[in-house]
Amino acid sequence: MDPARFCSQSRLVIVAGKGGVGKTTVSAALAMMAAQAGLDTLIVEVEGKTGLGTAFGQGELSYDEVQLADRVRARTITPDQALLEYLDEHGMRRLSKRLTNSGVLDVVATAAPGIKDILVLGKVKQLERAGDADLIVLDAPAAGHAVTFLTSARGLLDAVRVGPVRAQAEDVQELLTDAARTQVLLVTLPEETPVNEAAETAARLRERVGVHLGPIVVNGLYPPVSGLEAAADLVGRAGVPADDAQPLLDAAAFRRSRHDLQQEQLARLAESLDLPQLRLPYLFSPELGPAQIETLAAALADAVTNVEMAS
């Protein structure tokens, strides 16, 4: 599929996965790919300290949008800020301080679980409706929170029977379950635990949220190396300095074994999860900066172009 078309399938793409799988990096690569395909893209972070801003040399992100690259903007949305803004817009500015400072929001959030998530998702919905970005990439919360985060609307519909919060939850649920507006990109690594967790998360998201799952992004695959299979021959034959021979062989053996393990995990993933896989290369580079994001965006575009989409 053509990257531009891929990025136009839904205005909201939620990037979800466990901590440490490279969710933020994938969000950035996706946004970059969309931008290069001509779409104005907004990345939304729901947690601080994701390092996304710093990767683009901008410092940490804030509630106010910043321009990260050509056609790529980014901002954060936190429950407190979203609530303040909501109250402001509804003529209740005087209340806002009391609500956020007195711990009342914590009490209300406990009385109606998911309300903080709805504040965030409600704001995302508003941005989606406003349409000032062609694509919104939402970097979902890490750890097990992605499922909780996305089921918040459904949970609230059970708990809250009247009022604006219910209306908000209905709107959010409508947004999440409409494949023409929202899809979820799961991110995982070709390793045992992440593969298990990706399959579990996918099942829960389908069952409990009813959200459309796009292809799964598998991050960190060792790119092929020429001569790897014939390492023993090559090193033995040519005039390789004696000091280099063993390290070359060891490094080649390590890469082969890691590669084989990754292939096993890819197969397990394919077996346990019926989603097309978008594979991204492992980057040996120690830093994550604009150049690395460019590389991954290009790799993602390749993967998208070559993948067979079910729908």
Partner 1 sequence: MTLAPLTRTRRVIVCCGSGGVGKTTTAAVLALEGARQGRRAVVVTIDPAKRLADALGLETLSDTPTRIEGDWPGELWALMLDTKSTFDALVLKYAPSAGQADGILRNRFYRNISSALSGTQEYMAMEKLYELHEEGGFELVVVDTPPTRNALDFIDAPRRLTHFLDNRLFRWMMMPTRAYLKAAGVATRTLLRVISRGVGSDVVQDAVAFFQAFEGMEDGFRQRAERVLHLLSDPATAFLLVTTPRADALEESRFFAAKLEEAGIPVEALVVNRMHPRFAPAGADQLRSRAADQADTDLAGLYENLADFTLLAEVEEAHVTELSARVHPAPLVRVPFLPSDVHDLEGLSELGKYLFDGDGEPAPVGTA
**Rule CB under 8 A: which of 271-310 touch partner 1?**
284, 286-288
Stretch that binds partner 1, among 15-23, 68-76, 175-183, 270-278 (CB under 8 A): 15-23
**Residues of span 81-100 touching partner 1 by CB under 8 A:** 92, 94-95, 98-99
104 binds partner 1 (CB under 8 A): yes
CB of 248 to partner 1, least distance (A): 5
Among 4, 108, 157, 179, binds partner 1 (CB under 8 A): 108
5 binds partner 1 (CB under 8 A): no
Nearer Cβ to partner 1 (3/155):
155
**Residues of span 140-169 touching partner 1 by CB under 8 A:** 142-144, 159-166
Among 38, 131, 236, 247, binds partner 1 (CB under 8 A): 247
208 binds partner 1 (CB under 8 A): no
Nearer Cβ to partner 1 (67/102):
102
242 binds partner 1 (CB under 8 A): no
Stretch that binds partner 1, among 62-70, 205-213, 241-249, 267-275 (CB under 8 A): 241-249
Stretch that binds partner 1, among 32-40, 57-65, 204-212, 252-260 (CB under 8 A): 252-260
Nearer Cβ to partner 1 (144/210):
144
253 binds partner 1 (CB under 8 A): yes
Nearer Cβ to partner 1 (254/305):
254
Among 77, 82, 84, 115, binds partner 1 (CB under 8 A): 115
- Dihedral sign from CA coordinates of 310, 187, 206, 112: negative
HEC-encoded secondary structure of the chain: CCHHHHHCCCCEEEEECCCCCCHHHHHHHHHHHHHHCCCCEEEEECCCCCCHHHHCCCCCCCCCCEEEECCEEEEECCHHHHHHHHHHHCCCHHHHHHHHHCCHHHHHHHHCCCHHHHHHHHHHHHHHHHCCCCEEEEECCCCCHHHHHHHHHHHHHHHCCCHHHHHHHHHHHHHHHCCCCEEEEEEECCCHHHHHHHHHHHHHHHHHHCCCECCEEEEEECCCCCCCCCHHHHHHHCCCCHHHHHHHHHHHHHHHHHHHHHHHHHHHHHHHCCCCEEEEECCCCCCCCHHHHHHHHHHHHHHHHHCCCCC
Count of residues near partner 1 by CB under 8 A: 72
Query: Whole-angstrom Cα distance, residue 34 to residue 262?
Result: 28
15 binds partner 1 (CB under 8 A): no
